[in-house]
Chain A
Amino acid sequence: MRHLLSISDLSAHEAISILDTATELARISDGQTKKLPTLRGRTIVNLFAEDSTRTRISFEAAAKRLSADVINFSAKGSSTSKGESLKDTAQTLQAMGADAVVIRHSASGAAQRLADLEWMSGSVINAGDGTHEHPSQALLDAFTIRKHLGKGSRDLAGIRVAIVGDVLHSRVARSNVLLLSLLGADVVLVAPPTLLPVGVESWPASVSFDFDSVIPNVDAIMMLRVQQERMTDLFFPNSREYSRYFGLNSERMSKMATHAIVMHPGPMNRGLEISADVADSARSVIVEQVTNGVNVRMAILYVLLAGGALEVGANS
């Protein structure tokens, strides 16, 4: 495995081995060891052409814990804002000897393009491309679900997950539907019809328009952010109505199964898709998702960069 562009490139075996690696790394970081020498001398570039808090910091922390050198590059304050093309930027990074580029871009397919056209020799990691995919987020969500609900099993067979809200604009939802179903979970998408993409019936997930009927029957509820910055049209009458039908508040939370967890990829619109008391409740694993994100991203960097060729699991 050289790049991580889309969950659809992963086999269940590869996905599980990333989760297993993350589990061991989490155990190491929970102990005294915070810094590992594994990627010493490697250079990882964070190329963020779109705003991000969690993902960028998470990849940076992951790379630094593995002793890699990190160069942060954001579109604001770089030549990209002067109109430099992705190709010229990539060639610049290649000339500087980047071993991997973590790319976030507002155009769907930007990471794929960077990898396919061989502008640079390093690995490409998709950290979110437009409304397409966000594979590292899906892996950390699967890791979090497995940790809380997996009961020691390596996959997610039989676990029921609801993904609720703005599915149309959500790369997190796309990656999660692919990964969770690959690992054996049952996924139900809950959204108003206007916020579901064309062709959703071909996805490996069922669809519901009635949040209240779904709530008691799932093990995890993943709320999605309403992505107002991508909304060029009117998708629901007003935010109060959206929140009434598709928001998670404490009354809805009380109908959840006792073991069920609440997730959110962040950043949250408190009061819109999730109420503040739910976000801060004991059921919420939202802050833990961030912690798990660092370990999962360490595992991704380890699998892509530490060795020569593929085959995780070949232990001599």
Chain B
Amino acid sequence: MSVALSAQDMSRALTRISHEILEKNHGSTNLVLLGIPTRGAHLASRISTIMSGIEGREIPVGTLDITLYRDDLRLRPPRTIMATSIPAFGVEGRDLILIDDVLFSGRTIRAALDALGEVGRPASVQLAVLIDRGHRQLPIRADFVGKNLPTSREQTVKVQIEEVDGTDEVTIEGQG
């Protein structure tokens, strides 16, 4: 096991992502953040807090559960359905930032795009992830990345965050 991101690294990465999102979107006026449960949702609310501090206004944040849209449901035991909460004004015409912890095969994001289709039609959808570990199985890429982490398929990337696991840390497990 090796540590890829310490708590401090993670905090710096989230701050940088927040600035990058604001830079690319020329401010925050049209932004909505949606985190994918479990850990993506917590990362989204952290990014929202950081951005609110920079911009001096509340940045809307919600969660989008994608369990019911997964294409690998039959390959695994049934998953618990997590909460979806979309800001009251919806996503119509907004610049929407999807936030997740790890980008791997890209299938979660495909499912998220399908789920989003039921919610509304944003002006644009961008993707922010804490870790991009490669091995994509679909033509999907992230717009904002905390850290690119070259891994082998056999390895496991484990993201721990304060709100869920009691500590902030990203580790790689298994042989490279």
Find chain B residues with CB under 8 A from A33 CB: 118-119
Bound: A315/B77 CA distance, A: 9
Also in contact, A27 and B82, with CB within 8 A (given A37-B68, A307-B77, A308-B75): no
Q: Contact: B69 with A308, CB < 8 Å? A: no
Q: A32 interface residue, CB < 8 Å from B?
A: yes
Q: Contact: B82 with A315, CB < 8 Å? A: yes
Q: Contact: A307 with B81, CB < 8 Å? A: no
Query: Which of B69, B76, B77, B78 contacts A302 (CB under 8 A)?
Result: B78
The interface size bin for chain A is 20 to 34
Q: B25 interface residue, CB < 8 Å from A?
A: no
Q: A25 interface residue, CB < 8 Å from B?
A: yes
Task: Determine the residue in chain A with the shortest Cβ distance to B119.
Answer: A32
Q: Contact: A307 with B65, CB < 8 Å? A: no
Q: A17 interface residue, CB < 8 Å from B?
A: yes
**Residue from B68, B80, B114 with most neighbouring chain A CB atoms (10 Å):** B68
Bound: A309/B73 CA distance, A: 11
Q: Contact: A36 with B38, CB < 8 Å? A: no
- For residue A143, give the distance in angstroms from its CB to the closest CB of chain B: 14
Find chain B residues with CB under 8 A from A80 CB: none
Q: Contact: B80 with A312, CB < 8 Å? A: yes
- For residue B101, give the distance in angstroms from its CB to the closest CB of chain A: 11
Find chain A residues with CB under 8 A from B77 CB: 307-312, 314
Chain B interface SS verdict (over half): loop
Query: Which of B80, B114, B118 contacts A21 (CB under 8 A)?
Result: B80
Find chain A residues with CB under 8 A from B86 CB: 31
Bound: A237/B75 CA distance, A: 59
Q: A24 interface residue, CB < 8 Å from B?
A: yes
Query: Residues of B within 8 Å of A, CB-based: how many?
Result: 21
Q: B7 interface residue, CB < 8 Å from A?
A: no
Find chain B residues with CB under 8 A from A200 CB: none
Find chain B residues with CB under 8 A from A217 CB: none
Chain A 11-39 against B: per-residue CB contact (8 Å), 1 yes, 0 no? 00000010011001101100111011110
Query: Which of B68, B78, B82, B119 contacts A36 (CB under 8 A)?
Result: B68
Query: Which of B38, B82, B114, B119 contacts A24 (CB under 8 A)?
Result: B82
Bound: A306/B76 CA distance, A: 9
Bound: A77/B122 CA distance, A: 50
Q: A83 interface residue, CB < 8 Å from B?
A: no
Q: Contact: A24 with B65, CB < 8 Å? A: yes
Q: A199 interface residue, CB < 8 Å from B?
A: no
**Residue from B38, B69, B77, B78 with most neighbouring chain A CB atoms (10 Å):** B78
Find chain A residues with CB under 8 A from B68 CB: 28, 36-38, 66, 302
- For residue A27, give the distance in angstroms from its CB to the closest CB of chain B: 7
- For residue B100, give the distance in angstroms from its CB to the closest CB of chain A: 13
Q: Contact: A303 with B78, CB < 8 Å? A: yes
Q: Contact: A308 with B118, CB < 8 Å? A: no
Find chain A residues with CB under 8 A from B119 CB: 31-33
Chain B 146-172 against A: per-residue CB contact (8 Å), 1 yes, 0 no? 000000000000000000000000000
Find chain B residues with CB under 8 A from A313 CB: 80
Find chain A residues with CB under 8 A from B38 CB: 315
Q: Contact: A307 with B73, CB < 8 Å? A: yes
Q: Contact: B80 with A307, CB < 8 Å? A: no
Find chain A residues with CB under 8 A from B76 CB: 307-308, 316
Q: B74 interface residue, CB < 8 Å from A?
A: yes
Q: Contact: A37 with B84, CB < 8 Å? A: no
- For residue B42, give the distance in angstroms from its CB to the closest CB of chain A: 14
Could you write out 10 A-B pairs with CB less than 8 Å apart?
Answer: A17-B80, A24-B65, A36-B68, A38-B69, A302-B68, A306-B78, A309-B77, A312-B77, A314-B79, A315-B79
Binding site for B on A (CB under 8 A): 17, 20-21, 24-25, 27-28, 31-33, 35-38, 66, 302-303, 306-316
List 5 tightest A-B contacts by C-beta distance, closest first: A307-B78, A24-B81, A33-B118, A311-B77, A38-B68
- Kindly list 10 other residue pairs between chains A and B, CB separation below 8 angstroms, not including A21-B81, A38-B69: A21-B80, A24-B83, A24-B84, A28-B84, A32-B118, A35-B118, A303-B78, A306-B73, A316-B76, A316-B79
